[in-house]
Structures are given as C-alpha cells and as structure tokens.
Amino acid sequence: MNRWQAAGLAATFASLAPLAVAAEKPAPAKSPKVEAASPTVATLDGGPISEAELDSLGGSRLFQARNQLYTTKRQILEEAVNKRLVERLAGERGMTAEALLKAEVTDKVAPLTEEDKKAFYEANKARFGTVAEAEALKQIGDNLPRQKENDRRREFFAEIRAKAQVKILLEPPRVAVDPTDDPALGPQDAPVTLVMFSDFQCPYCSKTAPVLHRLAEKYGSKLRIVFRDFPLLQIHKDAAKAAEAATCAAEQGKFWEMHDKLFANQGALQVDALKKRAAELGLDTAAFDGCLDSGKHTAEWQQDTADAQRYGVTGTPAAFVNGRLLAGAVPIDGYTQVIDEELDFAAAKAVAKAEPAKGGKPAGKKR
C-alpha cells in the first residue's frame, strides 16, 4: 500500500498499490496542438523541438514525475504550516513548541492496558493470521500506542488548522481528462468533476463505491461524478461483462442502481447472475438480456480502458479530481480534502476575475 501523507500528520491519503495492467494495449495518445509560442528545448538539423511537443511525448511519464515533485513540495508546505501554527499557539500560551505538543498530544493519549490489547486483538484476529496470540499481543503493545499518538497528533493539527482557516493554494499537476457521455451524478457545469476509473470485480473498488454516493450527497451541485470502466482482464475475468451489464442497465435509466448491485455481489458476476440482478431491479429483462448477449457495449469499456492507460492509470480504483490523480482506495477524507481545495481554487479564480483591473475597468470586460 502506498501512502501519501501531507506532513505525515495533517491529512492522509491512503493508496493501494496498482493491482494489474489490463491486457489490451492503450490506444495511441492524442497529440495536443503545439502552440507557436512554446519554447524550443532542442533543435534537429535546424528544426525545433518545442517544450509543448516534449510534454506531449512524455505523457504519463512526465505527469508522474510532476506528481512526485508536487508531493514533495506539498509535504514541505504542510510541515511549514503546522510548525508555524504550533509556534504561534505555544507563544500565546507562554511555552515551548515541544511542551505544547506534549500537553496536547502525548499527555492526552491514555496508557494502553492489557484489556485494550486483548480487545484490539479480538476485533482484528483475521489480520494476524497464524501469529500466536501472545506474539500478537506483544505486537499490539509495541505498535498501538504509537498509532494512538499519531491519531491524536493528526486530530490536534486538524483542530488548530481549522481555527486558522488554512487554505492550500499550491497548484498541483493535472491530466486533461477528455469529457465523455459516461454515467454521471451532478450537473455538467459543476466547479469540480471527479472521473472514477473502476472495475466491478475489484475488492478495493467496492469499498470506494459507497464513497461516491456520500460525496454526491455532501457536495450536491458543486460536484459532478463520472463513472468509467477499467476492467483488469488479467485477474478479473468477469469484470468486462459486468461493465457491459451496467451500461445495458443505463439504457433503462438504472445505471447507479446496477452499479450498487454489482459491487454488493462481486462473487456473482457471471452472465446468469447479471441477468438476475437486472430482474431484481425491475428492468425489462428481454431488452437487458438481448443487450448483454449482443456485446453491443464492448467497445465502450475498451475505449475507457485505452483512455485510462493513456492517462497513466495502472490499477483500480483511480480517480481524477479536476485532473488531479487519486490512486487506490482513498478514504473519503482524502477526497473531501482535494475537492475542498478545488472549490477554493475555483473561488479564488472567480474573485480574481471579478476584481477591477488597474485603471478602473473590470477585468475581462469590454466597453
């Protein structure tokens, strides 16, 4: 599991490692138009190679490199914000930063008792597998206090950051995700668009599925959620047909209902089971069965797969929030942090556009 942590404390984006690459080769990348003003980075027999052309050739490789740079910058920025807030609060209380953290974090974590360790063990037995109970209790005793202190530390930083109304405006790298007519929740003109590439047989995707509904409920018209298919054919033999079943259900206005049914019954995605799901939803079963048997929607998940690979996606789930990649089973807090930042970006741009330009004329308006 990969873990992206802003300052390691303020917020955690948990990302599961990519599961597999789909069997098909990605579709050829679409080359963006090269602007005439793009700087020249090399010449060949007097002919220029522009920076825009380099970006086009680099594709997902350059995006990954920019993501790594952004992650490092973001971590440094988060650490600086947290440090400044702690020092300011410590000064107000007439104490050192170290003393403040001890009082607000270390001292507020209750000592771990034997009952605590046993309760944790009983609740998490499956995670320990064949490890003997005595050894498991020792591991719990070694690690759980640290985990509890880290939890309290994150909570403390969240508290002081909320009071300071921290806004992170560092511009992240983005992928230009093409608009599609795939199933969606939310209006087309929403300031934030979340494009989810998912696989109906992927266990991590099933954990993310209900998160989409919660996000839609939380943000309403501010968020558009688009669902796209990326069946991992090498390890999920039923995922492609499940994707077709969802699209067949969409023909009858029941995509999201089928979406939820498929994720709730991942062990039964064979064709007969898919037809059973359609009957349970009250669909016109003759029309659904004919749609599924015909394979008429095969090209749609194949196009989604090709696009996902072109964007640099290698596993599921993978989401792009206004072009910002969130890979793996990200918890809802990870999504809300990025969505909130994107809403802040949108608000800041709206204010900048509305502010009068120098000379007294409103920016962007003509007489």
**Largest Cα span, the chain:** 80
Q: Is residue 259 part of a domain?
A: yes
In degrees to the nearest 10, what's the CA dihedral of 302, 304, 309, 315? -100
Q: Is residue 197 part of a domain?
A: yes
Q: Is residue 231 part of a domain?
A: yes
Phi–psi pair at 193, nearest 5 degrees: -120, 130
For residue 150, what are the CA distances in angstroms to 29, 78, 145, 255, 303? 43, 16, 9, 41, 43
In degrees to the nearest 10, what's the CA dihedral of 111, 113, 116, 117? 110
CA angle 227, 232, 234 (to 5 degrees): 170
Strand 192-198 and strand 223-229: the pairing is parallel
| Nearest in space to 200 (alpha carbons), one of 248, 234, 225, 232 | 232
**pTM score, whole prediction:** 0.71
The whole-angstrom separation of Cα 6 and Cα 160 is 15
Contacts 24+ apart (CB under 8 A), 258-265: 259/183, 259/209, 259/227, 260/209, 262/200, 263/200, 263/205, 263/206, 263/209, 264/206
| Structural domain containing residue 268 | 184-349
The whole-angstrom separation of Cα 166 and Cα 7 is 14
CA angle 197, 178, 304 (to 5 degrees): 40
Q: Is residue 167 part of a domain?
A: no
Q: Is residue 25 part of a domain?
A: no
Q: What is the CATH number of the domain that holds 255?
A: 3.40.30.10
Instruction: Report the amino acid identity of residue 195.
Output: V
- Number of separate domains in the chain: 1
The per-residue pLDDT string of the chain (367 residues; one tens digit each, 9 = 90 and over) reads 333 333 333 332 233 223 332 322 333 334 444 344 689 999 999 899 998 888 888 877 888 899 889 999 999 999 999 999 999 999 999 999 999 999 999 999 999 999 999 999 999 988 898 999 999 999 999 999 999 999 999 999 999 999 998 888 888 999 889 889 999 999 999 999 999 999 999 999 999 999 999 999 999 999 999 999 999 999 999 999 999 999 999 999 999 999 999 999 999 999 999 999 999 999 999 999 999 999 999 999 999 999 999 898 989 999 999 999 999 999 999 999 999 999 998 888 888 778 765 555 555 444 3
Q: Is residue 234 part of a domain?
A: yes
For residue 101, what are the CA distances in angstroms to 21, 91, 149? 44, 13, 11
The separation between the first and the last C-alpha atoms of the chain, rounded to the nearest angstrom, is 56
Q: Is residue 245 part of a domain?
A: yes
Q: Is residue 361 part of a domain?
A: no
